[in-house]
Amino acid sequence: MNKPAETTETDERFADRRERSRRKRGAKPKGWREELSDWLKSLAFAVVVVAVLKLFVFDLTTVHGISMEPTLKTGERLLVNKIGYRLGGPARGDIAVLVDPAPTPGDSKYIVKRVIGVAGDTIEIRGGVLYVNGERLAEPYADVAIAGPDFGPLTVEPGKVFVMGDNRRSGASKDSRSFGTVPAGSLLGKAEFILWPIPRWKKI
């Protein structure tokens, strides 16, 4: 007696599925205004997401000049990690984007330099060699000795950093040797990757 009831219930479920499928196929397509509205909403959402990421997480910057050669070359596009310096301070060896403390008319507002010393470090240059806390600093990124006069010793103040360009030729880099230490808060982020040109793509 139960078998016909089960068959009837199954038939009803299949009929219900067919009806829903028929209604779906017969649904009225969206008009162009609805399509445009959906597209604009998606675009607005994407713009907001990118803006938030750019504001708090990452940024792109372009290298100008020769001060970071041979590590970076003019025209290269860098991916800059901004959130790292919001969570913790800069470290020795970081390549950082910072506000230019001694801007020249016509130049970019920002510069790219390497962090050489953090608060408490003593920086000195003798005979073309860089010393940090009395020890010679290994600098595989530089291709020549430091040109120019000796410097220091100078002890980096609390809340500040000492920065230099990797290009150690005379007059090639405007850095902490001329404008002094800079507030750590003026560092906007750490350059992580060269994104462009493609043959130069790499982590730095």
Ranges of each domain in the chain: 56-203
Q: What is the mean pLDDT of residues 115-141?
A: 96
**What pLDDT was estimated at residue 126?**
96
Average model confidence (pLDDT) across the chain? 83
Q: What is the mean pLDDT of residues 159-165?
A: 97
Look up 67 and say whether it is catalytic: yes
Look up 113 and say whether it is catalytic: yes
Distance CA 189, CA 191 (A): 7
**What pLDDT was estimated at residue 151?**
96
**What pLDDT was estimated at residue 106?**
77
Q: What is the mean pLDDT of residues 5-33?
A: 54
* Structure-block tokens of residue 103: 């801007």
Confidence of residue 19 (pLDDT cuts 50, 70, 90): low
23/172: higher pLDDT: 172
- Name the CATH code of domain 56-203 (choices 2.10.109.10, 1.10.287.130, 2.60.40.10, 3.50.50.60): 2.10.109.10
Q: How far is CA 85 from CA 72, 162, 182, 187, in A?
A: 21, 16, 15, 8
Q: How far is CA 83 from CA 52, 87, 133, 151, in A?
A: 12, 6, 29, 33
* From 28, 41, 113, 178, the catalytic residue: 113
pLDDT above 90 for 49: no
* From 37, 42, 67, 202, the catalytic residue: 67
pLDDT above 80 for 21: no
**What pLDDT was estimated at residue 48?**
57
Confidence of residue 34 (pLDDT cuts 50, 70, 90): confident
The amino acid at residue 196 is W
Q: Where is mean pLDDT largest: 9-13, 58-62, 126-130? A: 126-130
> pLDDT tens, 71-84?
999 999 999 998 88
